[in-house]
Amino acid sequence: MKIFPAIDIKDGKCVRLTKGDFSQLTIYNEEPIKKIEEFLAYGFKNIHIVDLDGALSGKPVNFSTIKGILSKHKINLQVGGGIRNIENIQQLVDAGVEKVILGTAAIKDKSFLQNACNKFSNKIALAIDVRNKKIALSGWKNQTEIDAIDFIKMVENFGVTRLIYTDINRDGTNLGANILESLSIAKKTKIPLVISGGVSSINDVKNIINHKERNIEGIIIGKAIYEKKIDLKELKGLE
């Protein structure tokens, strides 16, 4: 099981949202590179980064920060936020990003997703961000009526190598991950799934691992780490 400590970047700082609501934003006043180095010190090699400025503006904003991280440290980054064209993807791949996460642009234009998967083999992850099983877009501000599993089935054979499945209603709430729904999605697709949203304790992590669903590739954990509700040493021991 891969554990992905999460870093959301806004205005050059690590932040966390509650349910994707930018009016409920907590700034932790930590530089992303310092947080990366903390995670590295505990032995984590897989990190989830979202460029929130990029998600809001529709174009990558914090590329220089991401490039700087990769120039200093050998680490597996999956990066999303504002990635809307092939040039954006190429830039991140050239910088050394392991997985480029596509969301809004891929949902709006399936041909873009397919082209990206064809051009960047084994590099494309797909963000499926949901409220009540329906996909939300553009930094979670725009709610659609697109059913998550219906969309996943439509693109299943494109070559997406990872699904990032986030329950927005749980994200940043410390209420616990929506494990049952995530497991249900994982069983309906062959694409490896990473659970995101609401993981609040070490017991949440253990519960996910204990389900032994083979198609669950990993877990993303954010706010619970920043608020020290999960001990990083204990967490690393579960990976």
Query: Which pLDDT belongs to residue 101?
Result: 98
CATH number of residue 204's parent domain: 3.20.20.70
Residues contacting residue 154 through CB under 8 Å, at least 6 positions apart? 110
Domain count, the chain: 1
Token pair for 50? 């979202």
| Residue of 8, 51, 171, 204 marked active site | 8
97, pLDDT greater than 90: yes
pLDDT one-digit tens code per residue, 22-37: 777 888 878 899 999 9
Q: Which of 12, 17, 14 is nearest to 166 (CA)?
A: 17
Rounded Cα distance between 200 and 193, Å, is: 19
Give me the mean pLDDT over the 209-228 stretch: 92
| Residue of 51, 53, 129, 171 marked active site | 129
Picking from 15-29, 47-61, 135-149, 162-176, which range would have the lowest pLDDT averaged per residue? Answer: 15-29
Rounded Cα distance between 41 and 196, Å, is: 23
Query: Which pLDDT belongs to residue 227?
Result: 92
Rounded Cα distance between 168 and 75, Å, is: 27
Query: Which pLDDT belongs to residue 214?
Result: 84
171 included as an active-site residue: no
Give percent above pLDDT 70 in the chain: 98
CB atoms within 10 A of CB 118: 11
Q: Which of 116, 42, 121, 33 is nearest to 77 (CA)?
A: 33
Average pLDDT, the chain: 92
The residue assigned the tokens 């990366």 is: 36
* Chain centre distance of CA 10: 15
Domain range spanning residue 139? 2-238
8 included as an active-site residue: yes
Alpha-carbon distances of 188 from 53, 149, 184, 215, rounded to whole Å: 33, 8, 7, 10
Token pair for 54? 């990029």
Query: Which pLDDT belongs to residue 20?
Result: 67
